Amino acid sequence: MRIAWKRLTIHALCLLLGLAAARLFAPWACGRDARAWFAGDASLQNGLAEELIAFEVRDDAERARTSPGAPGDRFAGEWALVTHQMTALGLAQLCLAHSELCARYAPLATRAALKSFLPEMRDFGSRAWQGEDALQSVAGNHGHAYLAYAALAVSMARLVDPAFPAPNAKSHDALIAAFERRLLAADTGLIESYPNEAYPTDVAAVAAAIAVHGRATFANHTRVLEHWTTRVRTLQIDPKSGFVFQRMSATSGRPHDAPRGSGTGLAAYYAGFVDRGLAEQLATALFQHENTSVNQ
């Protein structure tokens, strides 16, 4: 009996020590460099950037070794596209934050951005639209908003890379013009990603791509960006939570899914390229939700 109690005491003590370590040591270990990250420490950012570059090199080698093919389904295709998009965005933002790094990172941002534009990267969207390719149908009215992620990456690359290839810039200009025309024609401020599927977060990426294109090319996109910002505030935000709806009707603006924090966080990031007030509004809703969850 005494031995059993002794074992139980040891197990309880080990559990308490484990919980204490998880509560105290893990946050300390994970947050050691938090202040430096928040302050924009160039050495930390450079280290992460080099990891991204190494990933892109490995991806290039793998693609050269095997015949390139489209990802097997929509979700795999989306992730393949946004992986290269986020690499391009990160490197381009480092160029803007640390001009001395631009000579190295700007060409690599362009390389990653253009990879997100490859036919096999957008084939999942073409299949959803019954074979209609987004870049071959810029004169049409179908939204193809999923390609905004690649379009934003290219907008950022053009902003920081003076040697961005002219033929690719021409294709990008045509896509941005198509997005602008489609968005202005939408009373709801929504265009479809796939047939009968409009996602406010995807359209936020559309607006961001248009906004950064304006900075890179000095084109005036004020009208369409104001149109989008107004419609987000009046139609796309759930009044109770402050979150954007996950999925909506592009024509009626009726929600087809619940509002989500994950989509709202990403929409807030993209809104920051367009309207800082809207980005702050969405971020505040997230912070309030987080504080409520912690206090409950």
129 and 195 in contact (C-beta within 8 Å)? yes
Burial annotation 255-292 (CB, 10 A radius, 16+ → b, else e): beeebbbebbbbbbbbbbbbbeebbebbbebbeeeeee
Structure tokens at 122: 């957008």
Closest CA to 207 of 263, 152, 262: 152
pLDDT for res 284: 95
Rounded-to-integer distance, Cα 264 and Cα 269, Å:
9
200 and 260 in contact (C-beta within 8 Å)? no
Entry pTM: 0.85
pLDDT for res 148: 96
Question: Residue 200 burial by CB count (10 A; 0-12/13-18/19+): exposed, middle or buried?
Answer: buried
Per-residue confidence of the chain (296 residues) as pLDDT tens digits?
555 666 666 666 776 766 666 666 667 667 677 787 677 777 888 888 888 888 888 888 887 777 666 566 666 777 788 889 999 999 999 999 988 889 999 999 999 999 988 888 888 888 899 999 999 999 999 999 999 999 999 999 999 999 999 999 999 999 999 999 999 999 999 999 999 999 999 999 999 999 999 999 999 999 999 999 999 999 999 999 999 999 999 999 999 999 999 999 999 999 999 999 999 999 999 998 876 654 54
- Chain CA centroid to CA 210, Å: 14
Helices of type H across the chain: 2-20, 26-30, 34-38, 42-65, 74-97, 102-115, 119-128, 148-160, 166-184, 200-217, 222-231, 261-271, 276-295
Rounded-to-integer distance, Cα 213 and Cα 169, Å:
10
